C-alpha cells in the first residue's frame, strides 16, 4: 500500500479508505478566494458499488490500494459459485456471483476474464468489449414481418435476454456488447 497525496489523484485510481476500497470516478481541485484549497471527489465502492462524494484537504495523505490484474479462465459452476483458473499458476478460485455482478451474464466455459485482485481477494472483473454467445431460445421470425429495425427477445446460453433482429434463430452465435448488453452482429 503506497501513501499518496490528494494532489496526485487520477481517475480510475483505487484508494483504501475506512477499511474499504474506493475507485476514483471524478476529482476536482478547488482553490477558493478565501480559505484553503481542497479536492472534491466522487468515489465508487469497489466491493459494494455505492457511489459517494468526499472532500479532502489539498495535500492530505491517502492510502493507494494496489490492484493486481490477472487473466483467468472460467472453468465451471460449482453450486452458485463460478470457478476460475489462474492462467499462470493454474490455481482454481471459486468466485461468488455477487463479485462478478453483471459479468456473470457474459461468461461461458473456457472464456477468459481479467480479474481485479486486492491481495488474494477478487474485487472485480473486466470483460472484453464484446463476447460471442449462442442463442438458446427465441421465437421464429414471421414471414413478411421484415420491417427494418424489427426486434424480438432472445435468451442466450447464459440466461441473459437481449433484443435481436427478426432473422436471428435458435443455435446461431451472436456478438453482444458487454458494456450495454446490446446485440451487435451475427458471428
pLDDT in tens, 160-180: 999 988 888 899 999 999 888
Do 72 and 60 share a structural domain? Answer: no
Residues 49 and 83 in one domain: no
Which stretches within the chain are classed as H helix? 97-100
Of 14, 42, 64, at which residue does a domain stop? Answer: 64
Say yes or no: 59 and 72 in one domain: no
Q: Are residues 11 and 54 in the same domain?
A: yes
Cross-strand bridge partners of residue 172: none
One domain for residues 117 and 146:
no
The answer on 100 and 48 residing in a single domain is: no
Domain count, the chain: 3
The owner of cell 474499504 is: 20
Is a pLDDT exceeding 90 seen at residue 6?
A: no
Cα Rg of the chain (Å, integer)? 22
How many other β-carbons are positioned within 10 Å of the β-carbon of residue 39? 20
Last residue of a domain, one of 16, 43, 64: 64
Domain final residue, candidates 34, 64, 94: 64
> Is residue 22 located within the same domain as residue 45?
yes
- Residue 30 and residue 48 in one domain: yes
Q: What integer is the mean pLDDT of 128-140? A: 90
Residues 32 and 81 in one domain: no
Q: Clarify whether residues 137 and 175 are in a common domain.
A: yes
pLDDT reported for residue 33: 87
Here the CATH number for the domain that contains residue 151 is 2.40.50.140
Report, as an integer, the average pLDDT of 62-74. 90
- Range of weakest confidence among 18-22, 46-50, 51-55, 148-152: 148-152
CB atoms within 10 A of CB 85: 16
Mean of pLDDT over the chain: 88
User: How far apart are the C-alpha atoms of 134 and 173, rounded to whole Å?
Assistant: 4
Across the range 114-120, mean pLDDT stands at: 87
Domain range enclosing 41: 2-64
Phi, psi of 66 (to 5 degrees): -90, 110
Distance CA 106, CA 165 (A): 20
Asked if residue 93 and residue 55 are part of one domain, the reply reads no
**pLDDT above 70: percentage of residues in the chain:** 95
- Let me know whether 112 and 141 are in one domain: no
* DSSP-derived 3-state class of residue 186: strand
Amino acid at each position: 500500500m503506497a501513501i499518496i497525496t490528494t494532489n496526485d489523484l487520477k481517475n480510475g485510481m483505487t484508494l483504501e479508505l475506512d477499511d474499504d476500497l474506493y475507485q476514483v470516478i471524478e476529482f476536482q481541485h478547488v482553490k477558493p478566494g478565501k480559505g484553503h484549497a481542497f479536492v472534491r471527489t466522487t468515489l465508487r465502492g469497489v466491493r459494494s458499488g455505492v457511489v459517494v462524494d468526499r472532500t479532502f484537504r489539498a495535500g492530505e495523505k491517502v492510502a493507494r490500494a494496489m490492484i493486481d490484474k490477472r487473466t483467468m479462465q472460467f472453468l465451471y459452476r460449482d453450486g452458485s459459485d463460478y470457478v476460475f483458473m489462474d492462467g499462470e499458476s493454474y490455481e482454481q478460485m471459486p468466485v461468488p456471483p455477487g463479485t462478478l455482478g453483471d459479468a456473470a451474464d457474459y461468461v461461458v466455459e473456457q472464456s477468459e476474464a481479467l480479474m481485479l485482485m486486492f491481495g488474494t481477494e477478487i474485487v472485480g472483473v473486466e470483460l472484453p468489449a464484446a463476447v460471442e454467445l449462442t442463442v438458446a431460445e427465441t421465437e421464429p421470425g414471421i414471414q413478411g414481418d421484415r420491417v427494418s429495425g424489427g426486434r424480438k427477445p432472445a435468451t442466450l446460453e447464459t440466461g441473459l435476454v437481449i433484443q435481436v433482429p427478426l432473422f436471428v434463430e435458435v443455435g446461431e452465435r451472436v456478438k453482444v456488447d458487454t458494456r450495454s448488453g446490446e446485440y451487435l452482429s451475427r458471428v
